[in-house]
Structure 1
Amino acid sequence: MKQVHHLNPVYGLGLEQGENRLVDYNSSWPLAFSEEAARIQSALGTRALAIEHYGSTSVPGLRAKPIIDIQIGVAHIRDGLSFLEPMAGLGYDYAGDQGIPEHHIFGRGVARTHLAHVVVFGGEQWRRSLRFRDRLRSEPDVRAAYEALKLELATTTVSRGAYTAGKAAFVERISAGGWRWATQMELGL
């Protein structure tokens, strides 16, 4: 029998290692983020310059993997290494940069409920991820195209890595600002 660890039934969070599934948007996800951000801010203090909810769980109406993505802004990327002990105290494992330059990544739970990315506050990584989130929130056609891509990838890829790689070109195009033309072309408009 497969044992499930650390799933959060209140917020519908938790994704087992190796599992790749999308769920309907849960209107309690912003609250789940707020509660976790308060825990993180309390543990990290002023070293965390800002904490943002990003990724698909931050976009109302968008299907998502049931994992809250959190972005923590720091003055210098090396500051993220000082978070190892306090984040471990909150139940997070340190995952290194996972091949993403200028990131420190922390995951919570055996069945992941939260992923925290530490990046330079106001830096390129910070701005790009929030620009992508904000465009998904404000542009229904972009959100629909992204959801269609995510649904296709969730059914055709076997790993989270392949799923993420399959979204990369779309994410890059949207966050770089060429999204209006690109989306219209993709949608045949």
Structure 2
Amino acid sequence: MEIDETITVVPYDDQWVDVFKNEKTTLLNIFGTDAVEIEHFGSTSVRGMVAKPIVDILIGVSSLKLDESILHQLQQRNYENFGEAGVEGRLYFRKRAEHAFNLAVVIFQGEHWVNNIQIRDYLRTHPQVAEQYSMHKRESIQKGITTLLAYSDEKAEFVQSVLRQAKKYSMEN
């Protein structure tokens, strides 16, 4: 079970919204009341953006100590558990099947939750920034950066810039 994987980016697909909604129903059944909120985030949640064809799901919980039954049910549904995977305060799971998913389980309203929602909402309301981000992603792939970890490193500075813009916008509005 290796966290690094080959990636690509594709044009926005309207189907991603429904794919998220269907998986959210499944996840609500698994997490029950342990899930305070479940949100679609990442590039597949921003209409018009290019993205890895992997639906990112943010699950807000009150504690990162997940019940064994939740872990077992995720495993039964082919989710791989990567623990924190190098990001303190986030549990990372992924499923690669007909539809691919990444789950980020974080403390609801904690730093990871707020940052991811702010970036998503900012990109949704600022299409010119979303297009710049899409261009950055396409250029990264064209440069031959086609593995997850290298791709994540390549776009990290740009994402931090978007987060700063999103935080400033949020404070002003």
Superposition TM-score, scaled by structure 1 size: 0.80
CA gap 1:130/1:47 in 2 versus in 1, 3 angstroms: same
Over the matched positions of the two proteins, sequence identity in percent amounts to 32
Matched, 1:34 2:29: no
Letter of the aligned partner of 1:160 in structure 2? L
Q: Say whether the 8 Å CA contact 2:10–2:52 is kept in structure 1.
A: yes
Give unmatched runs, 5+ long, in structure 1: 1-16, 182-189
Matches within 5 A, 1:105-144: 105-109=92-96, 113-144=100-131
State the 4+ residue runs in structure 1 displaced beyond 6 angstroms: 178-181
Q: Deviations over 1:66-86 (max 9, x none)?
A: 000000011022237763112
SS in 2 for 1:100: coil
Letter of the aligned partner of 1:173 in structure 2? S
Matched, 1:161 2:132: no
Superposition TM-score, scaled by structure 2 size: 0.87
Instruction: Provide the C-alpha distance between the structure 1 equivalents of 2:47 and 2:97, rounded to a whole number of angstroms.
Output: 26
Aligned equivalent of 1:60: 47
Q: Say whether the 8 Å CA contact 1:81–1:104 is kept in structure 2.
A: no
Q: Say whether the 8 Å CA contact 2:118–2:167 is kept in structure 1.
A: no
Instruction: Provide the C-alpha distance between the structure 1 equivalents of 2:51 and 2:38, rounded to a whole number of angstroms.
Output: 20
May I ask how many residue pairs the two structures share in their alignment?
A: 165
Give unmatched runs, 5+ long, in structure 2: none
SS in 1 for 2:56: strand
How far is the alpha carbon of 1:20 from its aligned partner? 1.8
Letter of the aligned partner of 1:174 in structure 2? V
Aligned equivalent of 2:162: 174
Aligned equivalent of 2:135: 148
How far is the alpha carbon of 1:40 from its aligned partner? 0.5
How far is the alpha carbon of 1:99 from its aligned partner? 0.6
Instruction: Provide the C-alpha distance between the structure 2 equivalents of 1:169 and 1:179, rounded to a whole number of angstroms.
Output: 15
Of the three residues 46, 49, 61, the one matched with 2:33 is 46
Instruction: Provide the C-alpha distance between the structure 1 equivalents of 2:161 and 2:88, rounded to a whole number of angstroms.
Output: 19
CA gap 1:82/1:123 in 2 versus in 1, 3 angstroms: farther
* More deviation, 36-45/107-116: 107-116
Instruction: Provide the C-alpha distance between the structure 2 equivalents of 1:25 and 1:48, rounded to a whole number of angstroms.
Output: 28
Q: Deviations over 1:56-98 (max 9, x none)?
A: 1000011111000000011022237763112112221101111
